[in-house]
């Protein structure tokens, strides 16, 4: 499966990629329910940049990284160099040297697009003014679990 480098909007995924992601999510969820470790992100670090706070987004990403063997770092945008006037491009380039992925919850989708354009690690859109791909993926997984495959 070719996984997109960045997950900025859901319609960038092919039907096959979308189904692969949902299948993997079901496998991981089942293993977690049964107490079987799934350490696929062992040693990986995810930076989580929040322009707007969200308890659910923060907890879900932190717990997910922990359960998969990785570490999540919580950053409020206003306490980083972004809040001191550093460009999005510079922040993306520097952060890419230290972490394995970045999740951004931002007001402006264009800021997330710009960050991704200058990042050498995968960028995940945690919510913007235009798209919320992780929420849609979660909703699709729930629909499949509750109602079965809609096809």
Residue 49 clears pLDDT 50, i.e. is over it? yes
**Alpha helix positions (H), 34-104:** 55-67, 88-96
- Residue spans of the domains in the chain: they are 10-147
pLDDT of residue 3: 39
Q: Is 39 exposed, middle or buried (0-12, 13-18, 19+ CB in 10 A)?
A: exposed
Residue 1 clears pLDDT 80, i.e. is over it? no
- What average pLDDT does this structure show over 141-145? 93
pLDDT, mean over the chain: 92
CATH 3.90.1170.50, applies to 10-147: no
pLDDT of residue 150: 64
pTM: 0.90
Q: 103 phi and psi, to 5 degrees?
A: -110, 130
11-42 pLDDT, tens digit per residue, is: 999 999 999 999 999 999 999 999 999 899 99
């Amino acid at each position: 499966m070719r996984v997109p480098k960045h997950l900025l909007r859901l319609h960038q995924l092919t039907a096959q990629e979308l189904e692969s992601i949902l299948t993997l999510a079901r496998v991981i969820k089942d293993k977690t329910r049964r107490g079987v470790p799934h350490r696929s992100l062992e040693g990986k670090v995810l930076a989580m940049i929040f322009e707007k706070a969200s308890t659910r987004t923060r907890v879900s990403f932190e717990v997910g990284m922990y359960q998969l063997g990785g570490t999540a770092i919580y950053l409020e945008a206003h306490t980083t160099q972004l809040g001191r006037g550093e460009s999005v491009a510079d922040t993306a380039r520097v952060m890419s040297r230290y972490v394995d992925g970045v999740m951004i919850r931002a007001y402006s989708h264009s800021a997330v697009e710009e960050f991704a354009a200058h990042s050498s690690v995968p960028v995940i859109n945690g919510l913007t003014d235009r798209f919320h791909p992780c929420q849609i993926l979660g909703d699709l997984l729930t629909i499949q679990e509750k109602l079965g495959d809609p096809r």
